[in-house]
Structure formats: structure tokens, C-alpha cells
């Protein structure tokens, strides 16, 4: 039973345009959400997070939006750069438990 | 370089072998984690340690035995594994377990384990 889902396994975007990565969750008890980026042969790297009491958090080119009523999380990257090409994982936590999605592979085309 | 190292990076072992995975963090964090990532599956949290004490064990089979001698080191001892245990094993650390920024986990590169 997957509590965090990323339904798009892959996404291709032109350089300079916006990349939108989506994540859905089922557990209303999740209180913290995170996005990670992963390059091949490396572990995931923390990117940005948001508390459940907020609906938006911005850090440079990266913005995370949280829609609690829809149990939906999204990551916006603007403008997208070729170096952003990686696998992106969303994660959610409650207590000491962490749940990850299966990842979305983003390709930014120069 | 994330400050979390794992050795070995690759491991092939038979079902009757005993081996150990090692993780070390140089970030001054207090919490450490073991995750398993199987092909086409999400990362699965296996164990959580906070200040050397195990706080979570997510129904992991006893053939996986964690050890945390101090806040900087974490081991995963393996014995009599099955072929389905072949996966990428990732270690992570975080400042703490409280909510907010303390949740941000820093991952090592992982150990690719193959059980033959």
C-alpha cells in the first residue's frame, strides 16, 4: 500500500521552461513533505521541504506547493536547466516514519 | 560529497555468507537511517536510530541486524540472505527527529547488494 505516489515516471522539458513534478499522498497525518533529487550512482540529495501548516515554500528556482484538501504536492522548477536532469523523489513524514514515492525522471532538453 | 559515506559500494554474497554494510556520517547529526530500494519500488525505511537508540524497526526480517555504536556510525549486518534481498541499501542521517528542518536527511551513495 503506497502512501506516496508519483504517477509520472518521466518528464521532458525544454531548457528555460517550467518543470512541474507532481506527487499525491493518502495519509492525512503527514506533517512534513520533502523533495529529493538523485543523480545516477549517487544517493538522493535534499532539495526543498514544506511543513503541512504552509501551502507554499520557495527557494530560488524551486517552489513547492501543498494542497492539503487534494492531498497533492508539486515541485516547480523555473527556469529549467540541463543540470536539473535527474530523478526527483517526493517524501512525506509523520512521527519517525518516512515514505517515498517511486520518483520522476526529469530530462531538460538544451 | 554529502558527508555520508558507505562501504562497500558493491557487494556480492551467497545466501550462506555473513557480511556487514558500514555507514559513517561527518555532519554531527544525531539520527541515522537504513533504507532499501528495490527495482521499480520506492525507498523503504528499514531502521531508525536516534542518539544511538533504535526508534523504528519496520518489520524487517531478522536476517538484517542493525548496529549503531555511536551517532556517527551505523552498520547493517547481513546473514542468510535471500536473492530477493538484492537491492540498493542507502544510509541517511539527519540533525534530529523533531519536525521541521531536522527531518532533512542526507543520504550516502548506497551499497548495491547482490545475493546469489
With contact defined as beta carbons under 8 Å apart, do A77 and A84 qualify? yes
What per-residue confidence (pLDDT) applies to B100? Answer: 54
What per-residue confidence (pLDDT) applies to B98? Answer: 55
Q: In the predicted model, is pLDDT for residue A95 greater than 90?
A: no
Q: Do A102 and B41 touch (CB under 8 A)?
A: yes
What is the CA B76 to chain-centroid distance, rounded? 6
Give chain A positions within 8 Å (CB) of B42.
2, 4, 89, 99-103
Looking at the complex, report in whole angstroms how far the Cα of residue B51 sits from the nearest Cα belonging to chain A: 14
Give every CB contact of residue B28 below 8 A, 6+ residues apart in sequence. none
Give chain B positions within 8 Å (CB) of A90.
none
What per-residue confidence (pLDDT) applies to A53? Answer: 93
Q: In the predicted model, is pLDDT for residue B9 greater than 80?
A: yes
Cell of residue B30, nine digits:
544525531
Q: Looking at per-residue confidence, does B103 or B45 come out higher?
A: B45
Q: Rounded mean pLDDT of A41-57?
A: 92
| Selected residue of B105, B109, B110, B112 to mutate for chain A interface (largest A Cβ count, 10 A) | B105
DSSP-assigned beta bridge partners for residue A82: none
Looking at the complex, report in whole angstroms how far the Cα of residue B74 sits from the nearest Cα belonging to chain A: 16
Q: In the predicted model, is pLDDT for residue B5 greater than 90?
A: yes
The tally of CA atoms less than 13 A away on the side-chain side of residue A64 is: 24
Of A34-38, A94-98, B41-45, B92-96, the range with the lowest mean pLDDT is A94-98
Residue indicated by cell numbers 515516471 = A9
Query: Nearest-CA residue of chain B relative to A53?
Result: B100
With contact defined as beta carbons under 8 Å apart, do B87 and B106 qualify? no
Q: Do A2 and B56 touch (CB under 8 A)?
A: no
Looking at the complex, report in whole angstroms how far the Cα of residue B56 sits from the nearest Cα belonging to chain A: 7
Residue indicated by cell numbers 542468510 = B80
Q: Between vectors from CA B38 to CA B33 and to CA B39, what angle results, nearest 5°? A: 145
Convert the pLDDT of each residue in B96-114 to its tens digit.
775 555 578 899 999 999 9
B84: DSSP letter? G
* Band of residue B1 on the pLDDT scale cut at 50, 70, 90: low
Give chain A positions within 8 Å (CB) of B87.
none
Give chain B positions within 8 Å (CB) of A104.
none
Amino acid at each position: 500500500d503506497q502512501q506516496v505516489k508519483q504517477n509520472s515516471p518521466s518528464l521532458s522539458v525544454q531548457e528555460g521552461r517550467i518543470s512541474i513534478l507532481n506527487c499525491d499522498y493518502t495519509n492525512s497525518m503527514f506533517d512534513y513533505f520533502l523533495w529529493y533529487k538523485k543523480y545516477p550512482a549517487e544517493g538522493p540529495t535534499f532539495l526543498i521541504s514544506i511543513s503541512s501548516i504552509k501551502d507554499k515554500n520557495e527557494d530560488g528556482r524551486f517552489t513547492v506547493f501543498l494542497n492539503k484538501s487534494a492531498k497533492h504536492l508539486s515541485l516547480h522548477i523555473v527556469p529549467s536547466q540541463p543540470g536539473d536532469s535527474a530523478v526527483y523523489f517526493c517524501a512525506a513524514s509523520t512521527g519517525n516514519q518516512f515514505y517515498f514515492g517511486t520518483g520522476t525522471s526529469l530530462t531538460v532538453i538544451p | 560529497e554529502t558527508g555520508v559515506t558507505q562501504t562497500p559500494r558493491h557487494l556480492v554474497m551467497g545466501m550462506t555468507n555473513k557480511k556487514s554494510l558500514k555507514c559513517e556520517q561527518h555532519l554531527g547529526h544525531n539520527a541515522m537511517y537504513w533504507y532499501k530500494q528495490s527495482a521499480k519500488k520506492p525507498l523503504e525505511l528499514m531502521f531508525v536510530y536516534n542518539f544511538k537508540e533504535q526508534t523504528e524497526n519496520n518489520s524487517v526480517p531478522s536476517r538484517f541486524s542493525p548496529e549503531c555504536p555511536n551517532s556517527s556510525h551505523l552498520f547493517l549486518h547481513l546473514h542468510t540472505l535471500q536473492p530477493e534481498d538484492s537491492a540498493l541499501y542507502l544510509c541517511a542521517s539527519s540533525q534530529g527527529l523533531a519536525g521541521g528542518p531536522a527531518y532533512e536527511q542526507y543520504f550516502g551513495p548506497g551499497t548495491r547488494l547482490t545475493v546469489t
